[in-house]
Structure 1
């Protein structure tokens, strides 16, 4: 039994050497109690020595891991050893108390604050049973004196960290002269051990209970059931401590109290400090025995995990020789370049499953961010009807407008195409930023050992990306400039004037049908505006019926007019002054010249019948638009929308291709060559391979941890 507990003590010492308590949950007994509950007196009774600091307020301000070892010296001496004092032996127990106070102040300060770092004390004595106990600061309600304002929360958190561990046995000390319902130690124990399977209760100060009362129901398990039960103890009084009453005498007086007490004499053999020590020894032994297989498996897993972590830090021996340093740098350069390319291609083994990254983000930029940005641009953004009319008027110069000039269309559509430049350049910038992010995230833990090398790698790749950013942006600007340089009205997808007018006619009919369906009971007696075609005919002659008879001749006349109105030929090539067309089937047809004359006559008649405005300057925004100008404006707007859509489709296709070719692919294909050319130089080896101090310390700590786990595994394995 003692050997198994000593084994745990040895594990405790090994683990404590590098503060690995959080990773390895060892079986131990944790002592919990409120201030003035008699917790320190219970521990001193178990050791049979005065060795703990005493005083008012918080005395225990750091966890004390107390290992008791049954050992008989030839001279019968007893002594203690601290882990932090190496092999120094303390035979005077008052010096042990002073060392605890000194070590507490060193980390927790001289005030009443606490520290989570434990003190390790091992006591060798023939009067103790082999045990491992953890003494924690006493629970308090409110800060007193110079205690921190959140002292209650600090202590409660510290206690919970220890008793929450499944391998901890909770020794809950409660004074018998206080109401058990208000016991802080039992309340905390119930939170982490609601069934009471690993909690043992200790009732102190039974001799201080009011006359006529007793705690028999509690000690027998009837009032508050615990699987490990309650044990009553009677510690030395304050007067006994001041008079230095010998411990053997105190133990004898305790035994006499239980044997002579009328309520406790029947259970006297199950009370007292000596019985408590035996019970704790038995409980700890069986607990360790039950937990050993689980502990062995845990150690095996920790060894594997820590070994894998240590491998990531690499072997510092590789940095000693010139050949080794060169091969190491070349390997790290290649690994960095491969990680960069893999992130772009989507072949990285460490790809995130929580968010888009690398090449997937570039795809998202092309197809969602950039695509939606282009679609969000209105084809006729910032283009008013007045702008269109002014452009048409300006393009005719001092001459009257015979038909919509192409130069007006060119003049209006080019600024709209220019609107595509800004989102296109922003697309280039977004891809560049994503490549920079990939560059900064490339590299593994081994590379992080060398911060200067990693910084140089990022710097070289960043320079490469910046070099490619300029040409890529310039090419994208050229794409927009190319589209503006030549307005191809012969494009197969461009609807032209005829298509635009057909669309306008269909829209007019649909609108008319909707208006009729909205008012079916009363038909308008107003003269119909007619179709777009008849509007054009009415604007060009005051006798439209003279050349439209419902036969095929009117279609030929209509097609001829469309050609002249918005034809593909240049002004010099248009037969604007052709002689009159021959009559067809006896129906005279008008030449363009006669159309112009008729239109002018009509305008003169209209002007003579209406009051003249004060300002008839066509550049005046208040100048009223004619029906023809309204139709021309709508026609131009329809054509701009159609042509803008063609250009937008071209740009949306070409810009991502240009970015991939000039920026992404060029960078990924030349990154390794650039890295080797810039950094694989012997004179740079010493500088680049300066290891990060923090990383070196982490590797050293990891190696120590691995050695501890292996040593602990050997200790556990030797007993199974």
Structure 2
């Protein structure tokens, strides 16, 4: 079991594991260094390391996050001799440089070599190589930054992972983030401020991140960009450490004691004052150790800061950060364990979904195919019957959709049909005349009704065939959605299962359509006017006569009123008598003195006699008996006599044969009677079709497929020669399973590391 002192190295190992696997789902405790450009961030980090290794320059220098792990190693330990070629080459390079610098001082070379090889760096993107030359580390950071972020001033969110091994550092993990900038300069993109802020927030917004907010002392604290950004994600200052740099550059007579004491801007973790190396010290290659000694002397001798000198300086900052990070990791460790355990369980469940590879004997493979066939056919049947466990709650599907087709789509389409559509009064009159032949008839010919009603029954065929097509399409949708996650691993098997059922559906849709056509043909074959629900002519005719008379009466009344109005107007013009209307009104009222009751009695009596009058050919206007033929084909005295030996049909056509001429009273009654009989019979057939078509579809198509689908699949596909072909695994799923296995292994390793900590 690891001790508490190993907390930071353990978290470093976790970071290495996560980085190697490309995983960022675990928010590990970390210190993020945030500050504006030229605030002294790089100087702090280099002082903590004790070496110059960060790129410097104008504008944005840090353009990718640098995850820096400081690892303390024992003094004098020889970690350089690991036998790797890359280490030997690096060591030879250093020896060459030292020998060239001090050619005649071999003891000095050996002493310097020993010191150099106690410290080195390693990059995760360059495995198995140690960088003993920190200038080479600087070049590698620059090259790796340019590789992803380009050579201009663009930035990238992909981090660079660097480990520094040294006996002079404390165990610490830092993230050096790009400096906050406000105004794009040179080649910087216009939205550089937003890009950098979003990159910084990706790190500091997580609760496991300790924010190291760096602010220069020669800038008013209220203008500190780092503190402003830290306050957005840590409003109560619980995980923010303030670092005030460049204290030696403050104006004379000013100091930062109130800031460092936490009186001006309180932070739970407090403020630490720093004196950075000047640019001149860097150019003069002043060592970091010398700079640290000068920094300590500055605080001890300063008249204001000497009272808090034990809480200032980079050495104190390193110890403080080490302690804070260790305590922070200790506090967050239970949450990390819980999250890792949850990730392990979740990934194991995901891996189960991908299943194992195609292994085992032929019996195992054939058993797997048979199992997948049974699941496929069961899902297909369950979706139709509504017993599926994956029922869609957003829209109708499966059997419910078929029911909707029957009762809503098909039912409404039938109800929307007009029984007399495309059937005009002229068509009915023509059919009646044609069915009488060369004779006059006493009754409405039944043949005319048969001729007219059969084409109207044909109107039911279109919606019926459309109903078959809709159910077929729905079965196709059910078929393509009934696959399982296990079946998705074998695209060839799934494709062939679907093909077999599609073939079955196609086989059954044609017989279904033929039977539907037969149903319509059956109803056309025999017009059953003896159906109990069919409208009787004797029942319909009185109402037709009544309606006809009322319409005729209204028409005559309107004409009479128009005539009276015209006569009255002419009389006034002749006599200029304003009272001329009185006599006319009196006359009109006398004609209308008959009460409503009297009219009702008369209408009832006339309605009872009207059908008999019609049968025996009495005129509906005056009740006199006339010859039916003469009424229908009356002579026209105004026409010239026709010579039969030179007769041409186009030479003369009587008005009674003109289809565009007005109908006689008898023709109006006959046409209306036929129309009502057609509507009555059509409604009977429509009701029967609405009931019979769904039954036919269920019998010939749906139920047949449900009952035979499993046998058809086994017959077509369950063959020994097809086992290998059917169980060819999808490459994408195989890759996903491999990734899932790698992910699970990573989580287990991370969980093992965490569980080893006390």
Bucket of the pairwise TM-score, normalised by the shorter protein? 0.7 to 0.9
Name the residue aligned to 2:339: 298
CA distance in 2, matches of 1:132, 1:247: 20
**Closer/same/farther in 2, CA of residues 603 and 670 from structure 1, 3 Å limit:** closer
Q: Which segment is superposed worse, 264-273 or 41-50?
A: 264-273
Name the residue aligned to 2:528: 488
SS in 2 for 1:235: coil
**Partner residue of 1:59 out of 46, 58, 61:** 61
Name the residue aligned to 2:427: 387
Is the Cα contact below 8 Å between 1:199 and 1:228 reproduced in 2? yes
User: C-alpha displacement at 1:643, in angstroms?
Assistant: 2.7
CA distance in 2, matches of 1:332, 1:549: 77
For residues 498-540 of structure 1, what are the alpha-carbon distances to aligned partners after superposition, in whole Å with 9 as ceiling and x for unaligned?
Answer: 444466689899999x99xxxxxx9894699x99x999xxxxx
User: C-alpha displacement at 1:641, in angstroms?
Assistant: 3.0
Residue 737 (structure 2) pairs with residue 708 (structure 1): no
Residue 111 (structure 2) pairs with residue 70 (structure 1): no
User: C-alpha displacement at 1:549, in angstroms?
Assistant: 11
User: C-alpha displacement at 1:698, in angstroms?
Assistant: 1.0
**Closer/same/farther in 2, CA of residues 601 and 298 from structure 1, 3 Å limit:** same
The structure having more radius of gyration, on CA atoms, is 2
**Closer/same/farther in 2, CA of residues 256 and 499 from structure 1, 3 Å limit:** farther
SS in 2 for 1:296: helix
Equivalent residues in 2 for 1:427-438 (5 A)?
A: 427-438=467-478
User: C-alpha displacement at 1:5, in angstroms?
Assistant: 1.9
**Closer/same/farther in 2, CA of residues 560 and 324 from structure 1, 3 Å limit:** same
**Closer/same/farther in 2, CA of residues 261 and 327 from structure 1, 3 Å limit:** same
Residue 442 (structure 2) pairs with residue 440 (structure 1): no
**Partner residue of 2:626 out of 597, 602, 614:** 597
Residue 240 (structure 2) pairs with residue 199 (structure 1): yes
Name the residue aligned to 2:261: 220
**Closer/same/farther in 2, CA of residues 96 and 499 from structure 1, 3 Å limit:** farther
TM-score (norm 2): 0.78
Name the residue aligned to 1:655: 693
Name the residue aligned to 1:274: 315
CA distance in 2, matches of 1:256, 1:487: 119
**Closer/same/farther in 2, CA of residues 196 and 335 from structure 1, 3 Å limit:** same
CA distance in 1, matches of 2:381, 2:66: 54
CA distance in 2, matches of 1:400, 1:55: 116
Residue 54 (structure 2) pairs with residue 13 (structure 1): no
Name the residue aligned to 1:669: 707
User: C-alpha displacement at 1:558, in angstroms?
Assistant: 5.7
How many residue pairs match? The answer is 667
**Closer/same/farther in 2, CA of residues 504 and 242 from structure 1, 3 Å limit:** farther
**Closer/same/farther in 2, CA of residues 602 and 366 from structure 1, 3 Å limit:** closer
SS in 1 for 2:387: coil
Equivalent residues in 2 for 1:330-479 (5 A)?
A: 330-400=370-440, 402-479=442-519
For residues 180-222 of structure 1, what are the alpha-carbon distances to aligned partners after superposition, in whole Å with 9 as ceiling and x for unaligned?
Answer: 4454433443333333332333333444445555444443334
Name the residue aligned to 1:3: 6
**Partner residue of 1:41 out of 43, 46, 55:** 43
Equivalent residues in 2 for 1:520-599 (5 A)?
A: 525=591, 555=608, 597=626
Equivalent residues in 2 for 1:323-334 (5 A)?
A: 323-334=363-374
**Closer/same/farther in 2, CA of residues 559 and 310 from structure 1, 3 Å limit:** same
SS in 2 for 1:201: strand
User: C-alpha displacement at 1:602, in angstroms?
Assistant: 7.0
User: C-alpha displacement at 1:159, in angstroms?
Assistant: 2.7
**Closer/same/farther in 2, CA of residues 505 and 53 from structure 1, 3 Å limit:** farther
**Partner residue of 2:684 out of 646, 649, 652:** 646
For residues 137-173 of structure 1, what are the alpha-carbon distances to aligned partners after superposition, in whole Å with 9 as ceiling and x for unaligned?
Answer: 3344455444455544443333333223222222233
SS in 1 for 2:626: helix
**Closer/same/farther in 2, CA of residues 441 and 103 from structure 1, 3 Å limit:** farther
Is the Cα contact below 8 Å between 2:440 and 2:628 reproduced in 1? no
Name the residue aligned to 1:90: 131
Is the Cα contact below 8 Å between 1:33 and 1:39 reproduced in 2? yes
Residue 288 (structure 2) pairs with residue 250 (structure 1): no
Is the Cα contact below 8 Å between 1:258 and 1:271 reproduced in 2? yes
User: C-alpha displacement at 1:309, in angstroms?
Assistant: 0.8
Name the residue aligned to 2:672: 634
**Closer/same/farther in 2, CA of residues 42 and 345 from structure 1, 3 Å limit:** farther
Name the residue aligned to 1:121: 162
Is the Cα contact below 8 Å between 1:319 and 1:689 reproduced in 2? no
SS in 2 for 1:133: strand
SS in 2 for 1:319: coil
CA distance in 1, matches of 2:256, 2:542: 104
**Closer/same/farther in 2, CA of residues 665 and 104 from structure 1, 3 Å limit:** farther
CA distance in 2, matches of 1:619, 1:98: 108
Residue 275 (structure 2) pairs with residue 234 (structure 1): yes
Name the residue aligned to 1:685: 723
SS in 2 for 1:408: helix
Is the Cα contact below 8 Å between 1:202 and 1:232 reproduced in 2? yes
**Closer/same/farther in 2, CA of residues 170 and 377 from structure 1, 3 Å limit:** farther
SS in 1 for 2:125: helix
**Partner residue of 1:50 out of 49, 52, 63:** 52
> For structure 1, which runs of at least 5 residues remain unmatched after alignment?
516-521, 536-544, 565-575, 578-588
Is the Cα contact below 8 Å between 2:36 and 2:180 reproduced in 1? yes
SS in 1 for 2:336: helix
> For structure 2, which runs of at least 5 residues remain unmatched after alignment?
78-114, 556-587, 639-651
Is the Cα contact below 8 Å between 1:390 and 1:619 reproduced in 2? no
Is the Cα contact below 8 Å between 2:73 and 2:167 reproduced in 1? yes
Name the residue aligned to 1:718: 756
User: C-alpha displacement at 1:12, in angstroms?
Assistant: 1.8
